[in-house]
Amino acid sequence: MSETIKLKKGFNINLAGTAEQKIGENIRTEVFAIKPTDFLGMTRPKLSVAEGDNVKAGSPILYDKLSPEIFYTSPVSGEIIEIRRGAKRKILEIKILADKEIEFVDFKKHSVSEVNSLGSSEASTLMQQSGVWPNIIQRPYGIVANPSDKPKSIFISTFDTHPLAPDYGFTLKGQEQYFQLGINVLKKFTEGSVHVNVNSDSEVSKVFTNTEGATINKISGPHPAGNAGVQIHHIDPIGKGDVVWTVNPFGVVQIGKLFLEGKYDASKILAVTGSEVKNPQYFKTYQGANVKKFLENNLSQDHVRVISGNVLTGEKIEKEGFLGYYDNQITVIPEGDYQEMLGWIKPSGRLSIHRAFGLFSFLSPKKEHVLDSNTRGEERAFVVTGIFEKVTPMDVLPTQLIKAIMAEDYEDMEGLGIYEVIEEDLALCEFVDVSKHNIQEILRTGINLIKES
């Protein structure tokens, strides 16, 4: 049964630099990369290629030794030009020089009726071999799903409330057939519901509203209302021993294309956003793209921080870095490597949930702000203010949970809801934390402790 959920807790970070809804001129990116660090839970990555090898889009590049049946495949065709390693020969990036014309590995094409008659085992095998399986993320833990698990439900959030997030209705316009077919495939893996959650605060694209065979729920409220974890908590909560899968809309479309067209299509529409971007807009590219050409002659200054993803959960990269596997946006903000004398004590128009620090920002709540990466302070003793609870729309006690993780208290971690959250669900706590702790890093430490226990 469909549900309508209205959330009040949370906080919208209104930043300058929203992407205009138009596709920029075609920019040909020459180098792409796969980064094993994008895939949480991958502990022992192993290569399927060597430098100098030629690959097609959909060719296996690497796998996890603990899950060798799941292939992580090339987004484009071309030559493996570099395998970059870090300390202890850790694999950091596999770089691919792309062909001018993309060639694809040929997988079996299916008609809609053939897809509907497929068994889950056959569908799962094709998804694992082609490279689309990593789109499926397991809760708890926020890791690539185990194909042998039977999730009690599957969640797809069709809207993103992170700062400057792309509009899925725009980026997936005209993809209704693929989205529907992706839903049909995902339904094979659960006896529960496939939940397609839409934003009731704005107009919803027909890509999602016309979906059949899924439960369409309406969600409203400030960020993190668009997070799948928040939606799971209010619709089908996770208990110890439960497994729920999540897939983002791009992943659903990619699954649909695989079955209908018989190819691993990693093409996507990327949002280039942020206050330091001259012309924030969308561009066509592929997963793992080098971001250099999207930023050339498009920055208002050179001293910037480039982020693959959004400012809350994204990864800092260089100006010649690569787009993360799960990211659909690049964000560019001013670098904040400076000191400000007593800056924390002066009321200003700076965006803040704390009225004492951002007094005048409350007078214009819809104003778009320019924020840099300066944290305005270093980590200090944990101050309990109660502010975490105001930005977490879940029946979870984030302050106590973080303290339990820091104390490595396994029993309290479980009792306080660690199975229900991953980094993005508590990212706002890090933004509002006056103690300047790396909340997301602490949470991941706790998740790993529980997972390995």
Residue 428 maps to a domain: yes
Q: Is the pLDDT of residue 359 over 50?
A: no
Amino acid at 190: T
**Distance (Å, whole) CA 75 – CA 72:** 9
Q: Which of 322, 385, 366 is nearest to 84 (CA)?
A: 322
> Does residue 362 belong to any structural domain of this protein?
no
Do 82 and 166 lie in a common domain?
no
Asked if residue 153 and residue 10 are part of one domain, the reply reads: yes
Same domain as 165, residue 53: no
Q: How high is the pLDDT of residue 418?
A: 97
pLDDT (tens digit per residue) in 223-266: 999 999 999 999 999 988 999 999 999 999 999 999 999 999 99
Res. 15 pLDDT band, cuts 50 70 90: very high
Identify the burial level of 373 via C-beta atoms within 10 angstroms of its C-beta, where 0-12 means exposed, 13-18 middle and 19 or more buried: middle
pLDDT for 78-96, tens place per residue? 999 999 999 999 999 999 9
365 domain residue, yes or no:
no
pLDDT digits (tens, 9 = 90+) for 110-132: 999 999 999 999 999 999 999 99
Do residues 166 and 227 both lie within one domain? yes
8 and 48 share a domain? no
Same domain, 8 and 117: yes
Per-residue confidence band for 360, with pLDDT thresholds at 50, 70 and 90 = very low
| Pair 255, 133 in one domain | yes
Range of the domain at 213: 4-14+106-261
Structural domain includes residue 366: no
User: Is 202 a member of any domain?
Assistant: yes
> Which CATH number is 203's domain given?
3.40.50
Judge contact between 402 and 389, C-beta under 8 A: no
219 and 128 part of one domain:
yes
Q: What is the CATH number of the domain that holds 53?
A: 2.40.50
Residue 363, domain member (yes or no):
no
**pLDDT tens-digit map of 303-330:** 999 999 999 999 999 999 999 999 999 9
pTM above 0.85, yes or no: yes
CA distance 137 to 135: 6
* 271 domain residue, yes or no: no
401 vs 42: CA distance, rounded Å: 25
* End-of-domain residue from the set 231, 261, 291: 261
- The residues facing 299 across adjacent strands are 277
What pLDDT does 376 receive?
74
Look at residues 221, 241, 261 and tell me which one is the last residue of a structural domain: 261
Question: How many domains would you assign to the chain?
Answer: 3
Residues 155 and 253 in one domain: yes
74 and 111 together in one domain: no
